[in-house]
Every structure is written in C-alpha cells, then in structure tokens.
Amino acid sequence: MSEAPVAPAEAAGVVGVRVVSKAFGGVHALRGASFAACAGEVHGLVGENGAGKSTLIKLLGGRLPPDTGSVMLDERAVRLSGTADAARHGIGTVFQELTLLPWMSVAENLLIGREPRSAIGLIRRGALAREAEAVLAGLGIHHIDPRALAAEVSLAERQIIEIARVIIRRPRILLLDEPTSSLAEREVEWLFARIRELRDQGTSIVFTSHRWNEITAIADRITIFRNGQEVGTFTTIDEAKAITLMTGRRVDALYPSLPPVPDGAPAALALAHGSLDGRTEFAFSLAAGEILGIGGLAGQGHRELFLGLFGAPALRRGRISVGGKPVRIANPADAIRAGFGIALVPEDRKTEGLLLSLPVRDNLSLPLLRRISRLGVIRGGAEMRMSREMISGLGIRTPTPMQPVGALSGGNQQKVLVGRWLLAESRILLLYDVTRGVDVATKHEICELMVRLAGEGKAILFYSSDTEELAHLCHRVLVLRGGRIAAELNRPELTAESIVAAAMRDAA
Amino acid sequence: MPPEAAEPPRGRTRRPVLAHVVGQNIGLILAVAILSASIVIFAAMFVVQQDRLPGSFEITSTVNNTMPLALAAIGQTIVVLTRGIDLSVGGVIDLTNALAAIFLTGGVWHMAVVSVLIVLAGGVAGLINGLIVGFGRLQPIVVTLATLSILQGLAIRVLPTPGGSIPAGYTAFLVNTNAPTALCFLALAALGWMGFRRSRLGVDVFAIGNDEQAAIALGVKALRTKIIAYTIGGMLYAVAGLFLAASATGGDATTGDDYTLTSIVAVVLGGVNLFGGRGSAVGAICGAFITTMIVNILFFAHINPLYQSFYEGLFLVIAVVFGALIGRLVRGGR
C-alpha cells in the first residue's frame, strides 16, 4: 500500500471530529476522540466492535449529535441536525444497519427524494424504474431488477443498492460503515473500483471493515480506534501491529491450529441426491469432529443449503441421514430432534434466532425448558446454573445472565446462539457466516470455540463470506457454484487462493 | 466506465414487468376479484327474484350507502400505512354528523362554509390524534381508543337526541337518489389517492410504514408525516359524516359508531397490510363495497337481519383466509 497515493498528513481535514464524546445510557462509545479525513483520500477506520467506529460514522453522518466536542467540516465546527442536513453539506453515508425499505421497489429505494416528477410535481412511476435502471447501469450494475421489491433481492444486492443510493447523490464526503460485510470477493472489487474513481475525483472517503486485507487494499491512511478513542493514524502498518493496537494485547495467531479428524470417525451428517434447483444433484458427508467449509461467491446456494438442512424450508430434493440413519427433515423441529440434533446459527441473528429483549438466560434455556421444568413450572435455580455455566464456558461477555441479549455485541450474541444449541445437546452445528460483522478479538474466540467443539466430536458445517477464514479453519472445503458443488478442496491444497479460483472459474 | 472485471456477478434472469405488477399488488387484485364475484352473485340473485338486471336505482343506492364507509376506509388506509391504526373513526363521524344536523342551514354559500368548517373540525380531531401519537410516542391503538370515547361524548353533548334536518338541496348534491352521481365523488377520491401515492407525502407515509428508523435515516420527517396522516384521516372521516347526514337527512350522535370496526374490515378486505407500508386506498374502497354487497346478498337470500353480523363475519374470515392463501401461492411460497 506504500504505492498508493498518500494524502499529505498536513493537508486540511475535510471532515472529522474534535474531542467528541458520546455515551449511551452510561456506556461510553466515544471518549474524547479526534479524527480527520482529507479530500481525495480513502481513510480506513479499524478497531474492535465497541471501539466506537460506528458511533463516529453516525456522528459524521448526522445520525446522532455528539454529547461534547464537535463535528468538523472544512475545519469549522458544525451542528448536523440529521442525515438530510448532512446530505446538504455533501455528506453521504452507508450505515452498518441497512436502511432499505423492504416493501418498496429497488427503484423507489434508490431514487427516494429525487424521483423523476411530472410538471405538477407528481412522481412518474414508469420513468422511475427506467431511470433507476440507467443509474445502476452507469455504476456497472446490470443484474439487479429495479422493479423488484427490496425484500425480494439478496442481502448482497441490498448492500449494493444501499451503496449505489449514496454514490449517485455525488457526495464530496462518503462514509462507508462495514459496506463489505455481506459482499463476496467480486462485489468487493466492484465497490473498490467505485471508491477509487471517487477518490481520484477528490471525494473524501471514510471506510470501516473487519477484513484487514480490504483495509490494506483500499486505504491510503488508517486510523485505529480502541475503547472510544483514536490510537493513531498510519500510512503503512502491518497486521500484527495493528491488531496489537486494536486489542491492546498481542494476538499471536489469528487462527487456532486445527486438530485432525480422528481416523474412522463416523459420518454425522450425510446428504445424498441433494438438489437446490431440482435439476443438478450433489452429495457430501460430514464426519464427527470435522469442520467442513462451504465456500463460493455470494448467492450460489449456500443459504438455501443451510436452511434446507435445517428444514427452513426443506431442500427441493435430497436424502439426509444423521449418524447413518435416514431422517426426514421437513421443518426445524424435525432437524432439532433428528438423531444427534441439527442446529443452525444463521448470519442474521437478530431476526433468525434470538429474542433480543429477553435476558441471556432465557435465550440460552429456551430449548431446555421442558427438561428443567417440574409440573410445567421452570426450576429457576437449575435454569440460572446452566446459563452461568454456558456463559463462562463460551466466554460470553455479559455483566449478568439477566442482561437483555440485544445489549450484547454481535459476536457475543452469536455465542449465545451457539450456547443455546450446545445446551440442547446438538451434535451437528450449521454455522452460517457466524463471524460476519464481528470484531477481530471476538472472531478469534469464535474460531477457537469452533475448533474446540470439533475436538469434542461435534460435526460442523461452516459457511463464511471471509475466504481466508474458510481456508484456515476447515478440514475440507466444498465450493458451491450455481447451486452445485464445483470443487472439493482438501489440505494441503486448501488455501484462500484455491477457493477463490474454484469459485470464480468460468463464473463470469 | 470501469472494466468488465469490476462488476458484480450476474444473478438470475429478470422477471417480466407484469409479474412484478401482479406480485406487488396482489392484495388490490384480490380485492377487485372478490368485489367482482360478489357483484356477480348479487346480480344473479337479483335476476332470479326480479326477472331483470339491477339498474340505475340499485347502483345509485349501493354507491350512496357505501360512500361514508369508502371515505372512512381511505382515511383508515392512510393511517394504517404509517403502521398505525385509528379507532377514533366512529367518534369523528358521530361528532361531524351531529354538527352537520345542527349547523347545515340557509343558502348555498352558508352550507359550503359550514361543510368546510366541519371537515376542518374532523382534521383537528385527527391532528390531536397525530400529535399525541407522534410526540407522546404512544401506541396508536390506545390513543385513538381514548379519543374515540371523548369524541362520542362530545357528539352526544352537541346532539343529545337524533334530529336536526339537512336541507334537501344538500342531500340532492351529495347523495342524488335519481342518478349515481356519487360515483363522481368516488372517482375523485380514487384520483386523489393516485396523486397522493405519487407525492412526496405519499412516499414518506409508505416509507415510515416500511421501517420508521430507516426512513428517518433517509431524511424522512417521520413525526410530521404521521401527524399529517392522522389529520388527513380525520378530515376524510368528517366528509364521511357529512355524507351520512345527507343521506339520513338528519343527524344522530351514535350513527358513526360502527364505522370504527367496518373501516378496519374494509381496509383488511382491500389488501392493506395492517403492519404498515403496503396497500392501496383503491383496495380499501373495494373492501367497503364488498361489505355492502354482502349485506345486499344477505337481503336477497332472505337472511334474518338478526343474523346479519354472523354472516358478515363468516364472509370476512373466508375472504381473508382465501386471500392469504392465494397471496402466498402467487409469491411462490416466500
């Protein structure tokens, strides 16, 4: 990255904050932080979850006002009354939580507030879709249907629409909070091409990501945040040093070493004549103690496969056997009961697994209630004891078991979900992109947890949008392409490069 | 423009435009279908018993009878689209109906001014709903339940016993019994809806019903939009109260009570999603006419009027269950 054009450090800051603090109910997200980004640079913002990156972006984007300190625009303190006000100042933001309106069309979402209008000021609906199509094509996007509802397109496509919506408003300051979290490699390349164009036109770009290789690929300067404060701004810094600065401690190896699958381990889960589209068939089997990775570009059937094995909804076709015995999985209840118990941890944990306003304890004990109840009444002592054991066993960071799950960080929410299934004695875990949007330290803990669980004989099917993670954490990787298995990669030829190569082969 | 390599992967093929139109308006299409079916059934029963097709008189009375509910349903639709609900419909109609019975007298201009003032009174009632819901961040169902009672009380205070009289000219203008001129008002309402749907305000109403937080992040003024939605609702209920007074040629401070529930029924039959963000007032108008047609059919089937609500409820359940099933089929199990 030393060859990237580096904005001179003494250049005037276009956007930033000066000694800002922001607290949410006594928890300090930012404490006296300062930050500045210049015109014509891509400024990477890195740090653990809870370091204050997202809060900083929200302050800069006008979504939240600072408690103390000020937001700086062109070296002057400004008060932004909202995102609309920020937009008037030329600030465009892609927030981490997507803001698409699900039951409105892609075109309506894309052009909201600047729809084509007739002479009397009414929106021309036909022109709306055509204009959206043209605008998307101008950005090199041809595969998203502007007439579809936002709810009908994939997560990656939604993220792209969100990015496009901001870019077409030509902001002079572009804030991107985790824009790549649901994008596959190729889509990230698309985004980076757009970012470079904008940078070369003088746009100031602030970019956050948990993927270090993305930061080094795109950022001209990097600012590291820890505990609500900046630690430093760098033009070049190696990963190990950055992680030390982010976490305040050394993380020796990012990925734990993987114990081999014991010889002759029985197959825990097998799929024969499986099909996602009803035409092409595939088969695989997963042994006890094995971590089997599923790789490939986004939208190639991973989600359908994982949901299918969990019966939500069932696969179009395929014979599933658990522990060598055929089982019928028509719905999640079948999956949970089947033989060893199949458990799914989805990526969208907020909507697909956790009861956010209920305490950690209740979320953990949900599948156990019958077992720990007497005459239909829950034995509170037993429930609390089991929850505490799981919280300490998995290293779930929560002040008490009674903390609402929604108040925990993303990575800790994932651990609660895993803990729930462990308490339910599931022995087959389907982990779908569980490290998405999770900070480095927690990611490391989740990786260690996966390896430990595999060592204890759990069978793990693992999809990650982070190819690097698949390469390091899996015994084997199956690469999906167009709803079928395009390649099976074993150690030692299993590397991030080989996964990408298999995923991209004649994928264009 | 960028090289081909910097383009996201192509996905599935595109669905035809018509498929989107059908899929995204399935509630409206079903409402039209149910309405058509009920009209056919009614016409068949009519022919069997009267040896002729329903004519101008039948159409006129049906439209005139349905106008108040259709108007109330449009107002309810706008509120429901914001992910709210308005139970004060009945109270606003009671009050405006009572006011009309007392103050509608004299010449054309006097009546016009009084009508406008009555509509504004409905708007004020809606405004109060909107202010409490918006600024108080309270559940719309609780707020409007309270204002319903207050408005009902006010209406009784204004007109303790049914009475008053509406000038014949006023009745002839709104609910002409000789020709279905009320269809013009209906067309006007539908046209107004289409304009609303394509206006900044309409987009904002749909946006906050979709996801209020996201809408705010997109620069939508959620508070203001909600307040306006309830205010427009109140004004439409007031117009419904005027139509009701015109067709009854007098006032009754309890005549509007049923409209709280029937406006919600019409909205549901019209395919408007009760969780906000999806639906059309045209569907709600169809929903209003479906309920009238059901009453007409029951009349020709010689059902004892005492059992009328039983059958109305039954039809409602059947229509909603079938609607949901067909909707699911069309969307392909999603």
With 0-12 / 13-18 / 19 or more C-beta atoms within 10 angstroms meaning exposed / middle / buried, residue B48 is exposed
A444 and A415 part of one domain: no
CB within 8 Å of B201: residues ≥ 6 apart: B225, B228
Residue A3 lies in a domain: no
Please measure the distance between the N-terminal and C-terminal CA atoms of chain A and give it in whole angstroms: 28
Question: What DSSP assignment string belongs to A82-143?
Answer: SHHHHHHTTEEEE-SS----TTSBHHHHHTTTS--B-TTS-B-HHHHHHHHHHHHHHTT--S
Residue A177 lies in a domain: yes
- The per-residue pLDDT for range A457-494, each reduced to its tens digit, is 889 999 987 778 888 889 999 998 877 888 899 888 88
Q: At B316, is the pLDDT very low, low, confident or very high (cuts 50, 70, 90)? A: confident
* Second-level CATH architecture of B24-330: Orthogonal Bundle (1.10)
SS3 category, A477: strand
> Which of B3, B5, B214 minimises the CB distance to A100?
B214
Query: Cα–Cα distance between A97 and A163 in angstroms, integer?
Result: 12
Q: Identify the residue with better confidence: A419 or A150.
A: A150
Task: Give the residue carrying structure tokens 């939604």.
Answer: A158
Q: Do the bridges between strand A221-226 and strand A476-481 make them parallel or antiparallel, or are there none, so unpaired?
A: unpaired
**B10 to A156: CB separation less than 8 angstroms, yes or no:** no
- CA separation (Å) from A251 to A239, A330, A443, A452? 10, 43, 12, 18
A103: chain B residues, CB-CB within 8 Å: 206, 210, 273, 277-278
A114 and A88 part of one domain: no
A89 and A175 part of one domain: yes
ipTM of this complex: 0.87
Of B233, B190, B240, B189, nearest to B82 by C-alpha is B233
- The per-residue pLDDT for range B39-82, each reduced to its tens digit, is 999 999 999 999 999 888 899 999 999 999 999 999 999 999 99
Q: Which run of H or E residues covers position A34?
A: strand A27-38
pLDDT confidence of residue B6 = 42
Residue A473 lies in a domain: yes
Q: Does B191 touch chain A (CB under 8 A)?
A: no
Q: Identify the residue with better confidence: B203 or B2.
A: B203
Answer for the pair A134, B3: CB distance below 8 angstroms, yes or no: no
Residue A2 lies in a domain: no
Q: What is the DSSP letter of A404?
A: B
A160: chain B residues, CB-CB within 8 Å: 8
Residue A4 lies in a domain: no
**B218 to A190: CB separation less than 8 angstroms, yes or no:** no
**A122 to B199: CB separation less than 8 angstroms, yes or no:** yes
Q: Identify the residue with better confidence: A236 or B210.
A: B210
- CA separation (Å) from A285 to A309, A389, A428, A476, A479? 12, 32, 12, 11, 14
Interface of A with B in 306-325 (CB under 8 A): 313
- The per-residue pLDDT for range A11-51, each reduced to its tens digit, is 568 899 999 999 876 667 899 999 999 999 999 998 876 68
With 0-12 / 13-18 / 19 or more C-beta atoms within 10 angstroms meaning exposed / middle / buried, residue B162 is middle
Q: Which of A103, A195, A307 to mutate to test the interface with B (most CBs of B within 10 A)?
A: A103
Q: Which of B1, B218, B225 to mutate to test the interface with A (most CBs of A within 10 A)?
A: B218
- The per-residue pLDDT for range A57-66, each reduced to its tens digit, is 999 999 999 9
A222 and A175 part of one domain: yes
- The structural domain count of chain A equals 4
pLDDT confidence of residue A508 = 37
State mean pLDDT over B250-263. 94
Assign residue A508 the CATH number of its domain: 3.40.50.300
pLDDT confidence of residue A416 = 87
A62 and A194 part of one domain: yes
Q: Does A142 touch chain B (CB under 8 A)?
A: yes
A300 and A330 part of one domain: yes
Q: What are the residue ranges spanned by the domains of chain B?
A: 24-330
Look at A15-24, B222-231, B258-267 and tell me which has the smallest mean pLDDT: A15-24
Angle in degrees, 0-180, between the axes of helices B56-81 and B89-103, rounded to the nearest 10: 130
- The per-residue pLDDT for range B131-177, each reduced to its tens digit, is 999 999 899 999 999 999 999 999 999 999 998 889 999 999 998 88
A84 and A179 part of one domain: yes
Residue A19 lies in a domain: yes
pLDDT confidence of residue B66 = 95
> In chain B, pLDDT over 70 holds for what percent of residues?
95
Chain A nearest C-alpha distance from B327 (Å): 15
pLDDT confidence of residue A8 = 45
Q: At A224, is the pLDDT very low, low, confident or very high (cuts 50, 70, 90)? A: very high
pLDDT confidence of residue A442 = 78
State mean pLDDT over A248-256. 62
Answer for the pair A494, A469: CB distance below 8 angstroms, yes or no: no
Q: At A5, is the pLDDT very low, low, confident or very high (cuts 50, 70, 90)? A: very low
B7: pLDDT strictly greater than 50: no
A302 and A419 part of one domain: no
Of A118, A206, A111, nearest to A161 by C-alpha is A111
A97 and A110 part of one domain: no
pLDDT confidence of residue B318 = 86
Angle in degrees, 0-180, between the axes of helices B182-197 and B281-300, rounded to the nearest 10: 150
Q: Which of A104, A110, A180, A480 to mutate to test the interface with B (most CBs of B within 10 A)?
A: A104
Query: Cα–Cα distance between B202 and A305 in angstroms, integer?
Result: 40
pLDDT confidence of residue A485 = 87
Report the chain A residue with the minimal C-alpha distance to residue B217: A83
- Averaged pLDDT score across all residues of chain B: 90
Q: Does B211 touch chain A (CB under 8 A)?
A: yes
Query: Cα–Cα distance between B51 and B184 in angstroms, integer?
Result: 29
Q: Which of B13, B191, B198, B216 to mutate to test the interface with A (most CBs of A within 10 A)?
A: B198
Q: What is the DSSP letter of A402?
A: T
Residue A89 lies in a domain: yes
**B203 to A156: CB separation less than 8 angstroms, yes or no:** no
- The per-residue pLDDT for range A174-195, each reduced to its tens digit, is 999 989 878 888 899 999 999 9
- The per-residue pLDDT for range A92-125, each reduced to its tens digit, is 999 988 889 999 999 999 999 889 999 888 999 8
Question: What DSSP assignment string belongs to A201-241?
Answer: TT-EEEEE-S-HHHHHHH-SEEEEEETTEEEEEESS--HHH
Give the range of the structural domain holding residue A97, as residue numbers without chain letter: 13-102+155-161+170-247
Residue A439 lies in a domain: yes
A238 and A257 part of one domain: no
Alpha helices, DSSP H, located in B82-107 = 89-103
Domain termination residue (choose one: A409, A425, A441): A425
Domain termination residue (choose one: A247, A276, A301): A247
Interface of A with B in 174-233 (CB under 8 A): 184, 186-187, 189-190, 192-194, 197
Token readout for A238 is: 């190696």
Chain B nearest C-alpha distance from A333 (Å): 19
- The per-residue pLDDT for range B91-129, each reduced to its tens digit, is 999 999 999 999 998 889 999 999 999 999 999 999 999
Report the chain A residue with the minimal C-alpha distance to residue B276: A103
Query: Cα–Cα distance between B30 and A95 in angstroms, integer?
Result: 38
Residues in a beta bridge with B49: none
A26 and A89 part of one domain: yes
A420 and A362 part of one domain: yes
